[in-house]
Amino acid sequence: MRYVALGCFALVLFAATANARWLEASSDHFVIYGDQSEKAVTGFAERLERFHGAMAHVFRKQQTKPSPSNRVTIFVVSSTGKVREVIGAKNRYISGVYFPRAGSSIAVVPKLMGASSQYDMSGETILYHEYAHHFMIAGLTARAYPRWFTEGFAEFFAGVEFKADGRVALGAPPSFRVAELFHAREVPIRKLLDFDGGADDSKSSYDSFYGQSWVLFHYLLMAPERAGQLSKYELLLAKGHSALEAAEGAFGALNRLDTDVESYLKRRTISTLVVDRTALTIGPITVRKLLPGEVAMMPTVIESKVGVTPEEALRLLPEARKVAALYSDEPTVLAALAEAEFDAGNNEAAVAAADRALAIDPKQINAHIQKGYALTRMVQSGALPKESWKDVRSQFVNANKVENDHPIPLMQFYLSYLEQGERPTKNAIAGLEWAMELAPFDASLRWLVAQQMVSDERFRDAVQTLAPLAYSPHPGEHTETARRLLKDVEARLEGGQGPAAGSISAN
């Protein structure tokens, strides 16, 4: 019954936005939309950029600016209740959400006021946690890490404190994990350090996995007596050792490690990793007031970007059409209408709305994308002849010309060949792989690349591409099939067998 919540949300948010002063804060890595003061949204953008810059400094990562559409877009709504309504969730503990997608990574968080108590995670803290995952996948390595490591990494960096003098402190103790650490069921050290961290234990109940992962990661990274062991652990993993073999090889006796970690947790003070403001280079942050039509269309935009079912799309469409009729001279409004029409299954109407947007602003990238989606579905359905696949590809080429490093046109150009029943060209395959370089955090994109690599009998490349997908800290729709395919490919490589045509299914 999610559509009921969505309908209520749209009406409530529309009423709230009718006279609101929604702002857009734009920076190198983020775009923020919120009905808050300029000071609030600018401060939020600055904190996010300082957070990104601090992690980049710690890992000596050269900072590169993503294409405009490949930045993380953040919608700030009025409360945690509105966050749950917009995603159709009933879990009262959800305070914010993040969706890592190629060309459309978004987060929805409540107004920037912190948590309701020191024992709750604020929406902003959740965003830091998830962005740390995003940063790790996008900027460090495509290797699969054990679950405790990925979650300990995210928990460590989510504990961020922004000092008044411009410094950034990383690894601050998470007060929201206190109750978990002292009252929840403890995960035994060997299970914690195993690859899945006990996630597949069907008998398990609520435990202290996240808290323990934070303490362990913090201890190994910050304690002088354990200096260098985390790097050694990563090296052993890279050489093919199992999670437990790497742990024992790098950390020594695991029972002793367990005891030392408990003692570390009881210390009166725990150090943080402080990055001086001189090490942080923050680009310009620009703020603009949204146009009246953009404000009125905001409920539709948020719902569309989060994702809707066909039923939900049909409920949103009348309001989207009403807004577009009132503000027919705003290209972003018309592009949002094109997306709403496409979501509702109205392909011709989507093309028409996109064309109206492009007539006003030929560089309106969302209009280009939605027109390409609609043309694709029209060819698939037979509404356009099969010869029109060339028009589909031309449309995504047009989008690519507007924003060269936008991953979606590269993906869709490749997919058009598969939909047509033809083998993708070398250029299309190269574009797909470049899209994954731009957005390595997108699971569906990674799955496409892995399947193509298997089809091309590039098995070693396929193993490297599949591993983060097969052992993701947040399993998704491709996880199990990726694990099966990965095992098939690894078995063939380990057996020294030559690749046999058709022997491994990538479908």
Domains contained in the chain, CATH given? 173-271 (no CATH), 298-423 (1.25.40.10), 442-507 (no CATH)
pLDDT, tens only, 409-427: 999 999 999 999 999 999 9
CA distance 53 to 465: 27
Residues across the chain: 507
- Please count the other Cβ atoms lying within 10 Å of the Cβ belonging to residue 116: 10
CA distance 466 to 493: 14
470 is written with which tokens? 């097969």
| pTM of the complete model | 0.84
| Dihedral sign, Cα of residue 68, residue 71, residue 76, residue 77 | positive
Cβ partners under 8 Å of residue 1, min gap 6? none
Q: What is the mean pLDDT of residues 445-467?
A: 94
**pLDDT at position 5 over 70:** no
**pLDDT at position 247 over 70:** yes
CA distance 168 to 179: 26
What does the mean pLDDT of the chain come to?
86
183 is written with which tokens? 């009252």
pLDDT band at 13 (very low <50, low <70, confident <90, very high): very low
- What pLDDT is recorded for position 20? 61
- What pLDDT is recorded for position 496? 66
List phi, psi (to 5°) of 158.
Answer: -70, -20
CA distance 245 to 403: 46
488 is written with which tokens? 């098939």
Cβ partners under 8 Å of residue 220, min gap 6? 226, 229, 230, 233, 251
Angle at 302 between CA 296 and CA 305, to 5 degrees: 135
pLDDT, tens only, 103-160: 999 998 887 654 344 434 466 888 898 889 888 877 665 567 888 999 999 999 999 9
Cβ partners under 8 Å of residue 151, min gap 6? 197, 209, 210, 213, 214, 473
CA distance 180 to 483: 31
CA distance 254 to 242: 15
Which conformational region is residue 60 in: left (phi greater than 0), alpha (psi within -120 to 50 degrees), or beta? left
Which H or E element spans position 289? strand 286-289
Between these two residues, 82 and 362, which has the higher pLDDT value?
Answer: 362
pLDDT, tens only, 280-326: 988 999 999 999 999 999 999 999 999 999 999 999 999 999 999 99
Which H or E element spans position 83? helix 80-87
Strand ranges across the sheet with 168-170: 160-162, 168-170, 273-275
Helix axes 389-402, 365-381, angle to 10 degrees: 170
Instruction: Find the range with the poorest average confidence among 43-57, 117-131, 218-232, 257-271.
Output: 117-131
**pLDDT at position 91 over 60:** yes
pLDDT, tens only, 202-224: 445 557 888 899 999 999 999 99
